[in-house]
Amino acid sequence: MGMESRCDFFDSYPLFGMDNLERNRPRRRSNTRTVTSRTRRLEGVFGVRENAGVVHSMRGIKVEISDVSSRYLLRPDGQRSVCFPRKLIVVFGPSSILVSPTMSVGTSPNIRKIAKAARVSHTTVSMALRNHPRVSEQTKNRVLALAEKMGYRPNPLVAALLSHVRTSRRIVAQEVIAYFTAGPNRDWWKQWPCAANSFVGAQTRAEQLGFRLEHFWIGPGGVEAASVSKVLRARAIRGGIMAPLPLPHCEEIALDWANCAITAIGYSFNAVQLNRAAHNHVKSIMSLYEELRKLGYHRIGFSTGIDDLVRVRHFWLAGWLAGRELFGGAQLPYFVFDGADGKSRFFSWMKEEKPDVIVSIGKATYRWLKEEGVRLPQDVAFAHLNLRDVEGDKVAGIEQNSLGIGAAAVELLATQLYHNEYGVPKTSLCTLFDGFWVPGPTAPGR
């Protein structure tokens, strides 16, 4: 298939907006020249450089043509060229989209028709539909209302293609996104496994999407947030991620919420309802309870600090109570500690309730057991709800996948930035990551 036939194919296919071809008879010579001219411009955009049945783009986009029908076009030299493929596969890296001519093209107006009706340029319409900040609110609202009235619907295939092209360009720019922490000092978060691993996951995913993640300390509890906001504006940083925060922290953190896109990791920051990525605490503790019951444990005790409950909106407790109702076992009262007397009260609770396995979150309970020389699992079995807190020891429990949670937060933020969506969302989204049970010698079963 030569260049002319490839050009005829692109102009004949609705995917590229040139769907006015008369399919049942050859086109006139003059029309075909026009088609070829348009498609040469298209080749300049997509960088087509092979003339076989598989067309590769220089930006990593592959178009594969197969199952071609027997209809032909008349080329300027009098020869015929094949057109109308029955199947087209557009490949973006590892993923692909199957397009068929049987798909409904519909009568949705294009951007130029909307621009003509609105008496503005098609560039203005395009930016208004993408919520671009360069378009005034008045013009944007007028264009959006007119597009809705005319029945405009975006083509998801073209949107996916342009998103890939924009992402390819963004990789060169390396736009910075902020990673906000609010510990007692600048590097405190690095000692907290949850925040440290979330940062690694977020950093890796940001680089894959063409961003660069940069740490910003907003002061102890967030007291320096206003000063950090000035730095963000000066450097034109449009978005950031709120890392898990220590308790307590400022109820009102003075970031520029209206002009930034910010997502959160976990539930510790609740003053502003943001899109967030978090661990599925309820499902994880229910799964852990079920596994312990399968291992033969009957008296299952739960020990946690009050901060660890408040930080996750008491989801640990909700899942614990639900698991106990669903999977049975002894109805032991859970132990919640706060303050300096937590250790002595814990061992009093342990002596009175006599659990055959203890479940905990945080580092305190596990540290107390080791300090007092309690043998695991000979004296009592043990399982932890976040294995990152006891990293290096062979402990049974739940792997929360903090790396994946950090990556998901970046994806939520990238979506907002691609659509120029700033400020507090009207309806916040939450992406939940399920943890999974990891067996260990501290809970071998009975």
The CATH number fitting domain 281-400, selected from 3.40.190.100, 3.40.50.2300, 1.10.540.10, 3.60.20.10: 3.40.50.2300
pLDDT for res 132: 75
Q: What's the whole-number mean pLDDT along residues 377-401?
A: 92
Local confidence band at 162 (pLDDT 50, 70, 90 cut-offs): low
For residue 43, give the DSSP letter. H
Superfamily of domain 111-170: lambda repressor-like DNA-binding domains (1.10.260.40)
- To the nearest whole number, what is the mean pLDDT of the chain? 77
* pTM across the whole model: 0.65
For the stretch 271-296, pLDDT in tens is 888 999 999 999 999 999 999 999 99
Q: Quick check: 412 pLDDT over 70? A: yes
Is residue 360 within 8 A of residue 289, CB to CB? The reply is: no
Who has greater pLDDT, 267 or 93?
267
Write phi, then psi, for 219 (nearest 5 degrees): 85, 165
Residues 6+ positions from 34 with CB-CB distance below 8 Å? none
Where in the chain are the domains? 3-99, 111-170, 171-279+405-433, 281-400
Q: What's the whole-number mean pLDDT along residues 361-385?
A: 94
Local confidence band at 156 (pLDDT 50, 70, 90 cut-offs): low
pLDDT-wise least confident of 120-129, 213-222, 261-270, 369-378? 120-129
Local confidence band at 252 (pLDDT 50, 70, 90 cut-offs): confident
Using CA atoms, how far apart are residues 186 and 50, in angstroms rounded to an integer?
53
Is residue 63 within 8 A of residue 90, CB to CB? The reply is: yes
Cα R_g (the chain), whole angstroms: 29
Using CA atoms, how far apart are residues 439 and 305, in angstroms rounded to an integer?
24
> Is CATH 3.40.980.10 the classification given to domain 171-279+405-433?
no
Local confidence band at 243 (pLDDT 50, 70, 90 cut-offs): very high
Indicate if 281-400 has the same CATH topology as 111-170: no
pLDDT for res 72: 38
Q: What's the whole-number mean pLDDT along residues 402-414?
A: 94
Is residue 172 within 8 A of residue 133, CB to CB? The reply is: no
Q: Quick check: 184 pLDDT over 70? A: yes
Q: Quick check: 91 pLDDT over 90? A: no
Work out the angle at residue 149's Cα, subtended by the Cα atoms of residues 147 and 154, and round it to the nearest 5 degrees.
40
Both tokens assigned to 322: 């639900």
Who has greater pLDDT, 90 or 122?
122
| Maximum average pLDDT range among 190-194, 248-252, 412-416 | 412-416
Q: Quick check: 5 pLDDT over 50? A: no
What whole-number percentage of the chain has pLDDT above 90? 44
Q: What's the whole-number mean pLDDT along residues 56-83?
A: 40
Both tokens assigned to 422: 């700033």
